[in-house]
Structure 1
Amino acid sequence: MKKLLLVLTMVALLLTSVTGCGNQNQTGNKSTGEQKQAEQVNTKYKPKNGQQIVIGFSQYTMGAPYFVEIVKAAQREAEANGCKFISVDGQDNINKQQADIEDLLSKNIDLLILNAKDPIGVVPAVKEAQAAGVPVIEVDSSIDPSAPVVTTIQSNNKENGKRVGLWLAEQFKGKNIKAALISGAQGNPVGQTRRDGVFAGVIAGQMKALGQEISDAKAEEYANDVEKQLVSKGKAKFDKANFEIVAQGWGSWAHEGGLKAMEDILVANPDINVLISENDSMALGALEAIKEAKQEGQVTIVAAADGQKEALALIKEGKYGATGMNNPTLIGKTAVQVGLKVLEGDKSFPKIYYTPPVAITKENVDQYYDPNAGF
């Protein structure tokens, strides 16, 4: 197998050679502090002589339509470029995902695309890929900085969350927000970034409505205070912005998980007026519980991320407030395109490549809704 020394150099790069990706939101990246400093090494890749490139994709779960669509989009793009594509499902188990990666490496893949189940637990497998000369691209989830990946391709979770939070604050205009929060998985950094982005947007928007404009940095500081309360108490209250989270439930990113978490929350908190979810799938499940409790129309529903077509259809009908755009088709396609550039010898990629942040609401949903979409 080829030997590869990867180069990660921070550049002000829009990846113009990657079609369909859109422009990277540099202003948003700087404001969130999520852009990590890259390291510099040298790329010395020599492509196989006329042999078909083999791309492996390790997805940690196929338990939600979003994850399925990332893999399908990557496969379409790989096959369109004449590559062989092999995907494996970690079944939401870190041990299986590690074994999956070892199996892919045994099949002499040229490129590994990875959506890590655990940001730290998968690091040894990534280092094994590096030792085998296989470049690794992380998608969707975040991974520990010690993992030698080329880049991480994901939506700008914090900026998406902020936009959703600002929209929510605009609906309430300083009035009391009594929210339930449904999160994906404990310890997941993407989930925390998403909800903290929403908190910052809500706080900034609410305080502006109350005549107290604050900076983005101050809004994030206050959001961190809310996060600390959640960690210690499982609920939080921020009186300066009339913003309260009465309970946090865990939905494992799935529809059924959101349904169960919301049922439990409503038993003790039937008077909530907002649901904040870290993705659409859990929010759609929670909506079923809200309907069962005969509270549909009384609870404003927002998701920090995804843009799932079922959620967009409800946004069009006015039954779902807003969601952040986290396009799995764009992420999967971009991962393959970037990977092929790496295999051609391209040495410069940002440590994190963000797709453009957008809050999808009734005002702009027609730009994004496709009833025939895979997700």
Structure 2
Amino acid sequence: MKIKKMAALLLTAVMGFSLAGCNAITIDGEEGSITEGGSGGNGSIGFSVSTLNNPFFVTLSEGAEAKAEEEGADLIVVDAGDDAAKQTSDIEDLISRNISVLIVNPVDSDAVAPAVQDAVAAGIKVISVDRVVNGVDVDCAIASDNVEGARMATEYMVSLIGEGAKTAEIQGTSGASATIDRGEGFHLVADEQLDVVSSQTANFSRSEGMTVMENILQAQPDLKGVFAHNDEMALGAVEAIGNRDIVVVGFDATDDALAAIQQGRMAATVAQKPDLMGATAVETAISLVNGETVEKEIPVEVELITK
């Protein structure tokens, strides 16, 4: 009889655990308070950022973290280190951690798509920030108008160096939507009003920007202007240019770029608001966790910054 009684108790316990698992009950910080969640994850927010080795994305991440702390949200930030394969692995790990919302800032807008699609298939809401995810219908896209920002920057450069002047374009990481959009904005103006003698990638890196600029200058010593897809590459170009009279325009309005503009080493940059983008992404994620409807696209304004 004792054996039968123990077996019955064990069966009851197993059934109890099974039911608890179906309801995904979690305990909040306050004693006695519980939250019941369905298949929508555990309420946490995962943020896969392309790299934290770039001031712009550090500020983006800090804006997200500050908003999460303010709202008491559980935010998990993972750094892809500008490696598309690592970002895929990071996102798969976040999926396994039962997050409710994925915020993704892609290294490569195409390469990240399969992992993001896996998140969607798992019932996870997805927000793209700063860069899009190609081929995936995300719940919300938050980004600056990169095409318009690059167009404004290039028009300003034309006003300084004149139409027909020899110009170089230093591109960001191939496949990134920011690279595509900023390139489009540049060429909208440059193809009509400038002589674009070189377009080379430097992967949004300052050191690579310097190397690429050195190579361009060897082939084009009479260069008059440079448009770089971000400030890090622009600052690298500035180092390579030295005292030559070449106009350099960047994008992102990082602190180092603003200082370079004040010193007359750079002509202009395009100001985004990465801290606001990060905060908006988390705010939107919280709305999704709460089952609220959000805008499909949330644009963040840009402005041209000159001395």
Q: Give the TM-score band, short-chain normalised.
A: 0.7 to 0.9
TM-aligned CA distance change 1:94 to 1:173, over 3 Å: closer
The aligned runs of 1:264-303 (5 Å cut-off) are 264-291=215-242, 294-295=243-244, 298-303=245-250
TM-score by length of 2: 0.82
Q: Deviations over 1:73-116 (max 9, x none)?
A: 11111111111221111222222211111111222212111011
The gaps in structure 2 that reach 5 residues or longer are: 1-20, 24-33
> Is 1:260 matched up with 2:208?
no
SS across alignment from 1:152: strand
Among candidates 154, 176, 181, match of residue 143 of structure 2:
154
Q: Deviations over 1:110-169 (max 9, x none)?
A: 21110112222222221221222211101111211x313111111100111121122222
The residue number in structure 1 matching 2:268 is 322
> If each structure's helix is expressed as a fraction of its own residues, which one has the higher value?
2
Q: Deviations over 1:24-80 (max 9, x none)?
A: xxxxxxxxxxxxxxxxxxxxxxx9449984211111222211122211211111111
Among candidates 164, 167, 173, match of residue 179 of structure 1:
167
The aligned runs of 1:1-375 (5 Å cut-off) are 48-49=35-36, 53-144=43-134, 146-174=135-163, 176-202=164-190, 226=191, 238=192, 241=193, 243-291=194-242, 294-295=243-244, 298-303=245-250, 305-350=251-296, 352-362=297-307
Q: Which amino acid aligns with 2:237?
A: A
TM-score by length of 1: 0.68
TM-aligned CA distance change 1:55 to 1:2, over 3 Å: farther
Q: Deviations over 1:171-201 (max 9, x none)?
A: 2354x32112110122333212112212324
The gaps in structure 1 that reach 5 residues or longer are: 4-46, 203-225, 227-237, 363-375
User: How far off is 1:357 after superposition?
Assistant: 2.4
Q: Which amino acid aligns with 2:174?
A: Q
Instruction: Give the structure, 1 or 2, with the largest relative contact order (CA under 8 Å, sep 6 or more).
Output: 1
Q: Distance in 2 between matches of 1:2 and 1:166?
A: 59
Q: How many residues align?
A: 274
User: How far off is 1:170 after superposition?
Assistant: 2.1
Q: Distance in 2 between matches of 1:148 and 1:336?
A: 19
Tell me how large the CA RMSD over aligned residues is: 2.3
SS across alignment from 1:342: helix
Q: Which amino acid aligns with 1:354?
A: P
The residue number in structure 1 matching 2:5 is none
TM-aligned CA distance change 1:77 to 1:274, over 3 Å: same
